[in-house]
């Protein structure tokens, strides 16, 4: 089947009361790991690429790898999503390239670091919604800013500095007509999210629940949702790595989110940890090896294992065949009709 619009996957997830993992990729092995996990668990799935990933893999390679994924796994509904688009131009170039969903993260300025004004966020998001919906492409927006990531996309800090204001979130959805909304509830990108198992003082599930009460029909997105499991940290350190002990977002909190409107859950770090641990193990245990397949295969397997586990925990497992994909042209017609009757 062709690449699917994210809106359809999230609408289906809302009907079924489950969440869908959105996994970041940079290369072929990561795409294969996710598709194998999706086949084994029969899951619909979102594959996402950041600006950094697009630059690393080069758009055309990424696009054709994703087309290969749809050919090799024709039974799996898969979305190609732009993660943290920093400007309308970035989002439009992704749409032109064949992404079926884009995130316009107008919570930050174009530098991907400086928190923006509400007006800036609304203006850039509206511009992207108009361009994307005309082509049937889904739009995720963000209100409030996540913490973390110094060199990639993110406001820095602990994640508590720019929590989403529920009243503003409600207004923002009215002002922009986005399909999905990323919110800031204390999480941050990367491995160092929390210094101990998070409680309600640092992971604001109460804010999420309040947003869901105000926006019961909006698909909410949790970024920075890696759980950073201790066993993955330990493997890296056992084989010569240097990670300080850290805590991520507990699965039970994500599941609470899913019961309260969360439909898309972003996971990158857990897969990075799994890959790195597996590669370090091969390097340490068999230093004589130099065929990249000797370490990329176990790395791919390790990522697949994490992704499969998340697919089961988020509830998307078993739902790959629930629906027939809607062509993008039909999605565009649906948006046009929605606008006319609004």
d(CA 154, CA 12): 30
Token pair for residue 121? 């966020």
**Interface of this chain with ligand G3H, residues 184 to 223, rule: CB under 6 A:** 189
CB 108 within 8 A of CB 95: no
Return the number of the residue (189 or 281) whose C-beta is nearest ligand G3H.
Answer: 189
Return the number of the residue (223 or 272) whose C-beta is nearest Zn ion.
Answer: 223
Residues 6+ apart with CB under 8 A from 262: 19, 208, 220, 221, 222, 254
Helix axes 28-41, 292-314, angle to 10 degrees: 40
Residue 247 bridge partners (DSSP) = 194
**Residue 53 interacting entry, from ligand 13P, ligand G3H, Zn ion, none, C-beta within 5 to 8 Å by type:** ligand G3H
Pattern 61-80, ligand 13P, x by CB under 6 A: --------------------
Nearest CA-CA partner of 207 in 153, 159, 154: 159
Selected from 2, 16, 115, 152, the binder of ligand G3H by CB under 6 A is 152
Q: How far is the CB of 161 from ligand G3H (least distance, A)?
A: 17
Token pair for residue 208? 């999420």
d(CA 326, CA 311): 23
Active site residue 83: yes
Q: For residue 313, state whether it binds ligand 13P (rule: CB under 6 A).
A: no
d(CA 122, CA 303): 36
**Interface of this chain with ligand G3H, residues 71 to 130, rule: CB under 6 A:** 83-84
Selected from 24, 57, 101, 107, the binder of ligand 13P by CB under 6 A is 24
CB 21 within 8 A of CB 317: no
**Residue 267 interacting entry, from ligand 13P, Zn ion, ligand G3H, none, C-beta within 5 to 8 Å by type:** ligand 13P
Backbone angles phi, psi at 266, to 5 degrees: -90, 125
**Residue 229 interacting entry, from ligand G3H, ligand 13P, Zn ion, none, C-beta within 5 to 8 Å by type:** none
Check 11, 59, 83, 175 and give the catalytic one: 83
Q: Which of the ranges 4-12, 14-22, 45-53, 132-140 carries the binding residues for ligand G3H, by CB under 6 A? A: 45-53
Q: How far is the CB of 68 from Zn ion (least distance, A)?
A: 26
Selected from 51, 212, 223, 263, the binder of Zn ion by CB under 5 A is 223
CB 308 within 8 A of CB 40: yes
Q: For residue 267, state whether it binds ligand 13P (rule: CB under 6 A).
A: yes
Backbone angles phi, psi at 42, to 5 degrees: 55, 60
**By the criterion CB under 6 A, which residues form the site for ligand 13P?**
24, 83-84, 189-190, 223-226, 266-269
The catalytic site residues sit at 83
**By the criterion CB under 5 A, which residues form the site for Zn ion?**
223, 266
């Amino acid at each position: 089947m062709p690449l699917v619009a994210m809106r359809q996957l999230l609408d289906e997830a809302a009907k079924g009361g489950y969440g869908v993992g959105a996994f970041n990729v940079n290369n072929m092995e990561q795409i294969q790991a996710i598709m194998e996990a999706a086949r084994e668990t029969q899951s619909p799935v979102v594959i996402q690429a950041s600006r950094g990933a697009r630059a690393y893999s080069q758009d055309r390679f990424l696009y054709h790898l994703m087309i290969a994924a749809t050919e090799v796994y024709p039974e799996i509904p898969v979305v190609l999503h732009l993660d943290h688009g920093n400007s309308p131009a970035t989002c439009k170039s992704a749409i032109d390239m064949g992404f079926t969903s884009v995130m316009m993260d107008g919570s930050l300025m174009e530098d991907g670091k400086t928190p923006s004004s509400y007006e800036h966020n609304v203006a850039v998001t509206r511009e992207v919604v108009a361009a994307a919906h005309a082509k049937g492409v889904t739009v995720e927006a963000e209100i409030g800013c996540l913490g973390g990531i110094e060199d990639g996309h993110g406001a820095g800090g602990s994640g508590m500095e720019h929590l989403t204001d529920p009243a503003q979130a409600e207004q923002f959805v009215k002002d922009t007509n986005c399909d999905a909304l990323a919110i800031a509830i204390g999480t941050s990108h990367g491995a160092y999210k929390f210094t101990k198992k998070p409680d309600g003082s640092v992971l604001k599930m109460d804010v999420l629940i309040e947003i869901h009460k105000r926006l019961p029909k909006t698909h909410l997105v949790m970024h920075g949702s890696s759980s950073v499991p201790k066993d993955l940290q330990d493997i890296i350190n056992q084989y010569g790595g240097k990670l300080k002990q850290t805590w991520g977002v507990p699965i039970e909190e994500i599941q609470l989110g899913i019961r309260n409107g969360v439909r898309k859950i972003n996971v990158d770090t857990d897969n990075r940890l799994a890959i790195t641990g597996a590669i370090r193990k091969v390097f340490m245990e068999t230093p004589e090896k130099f065929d990249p397949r000797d370490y990329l295969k176990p790395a791919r397997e390790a990522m697949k294992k994490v992704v499969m586990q998340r697919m089961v925990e988020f509830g998307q497992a078993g739902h790959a065949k629930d629906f027939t994909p809607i062509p993008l042209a039909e999605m565009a017609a649906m948006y046009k009709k929605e606008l006319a009757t609004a």
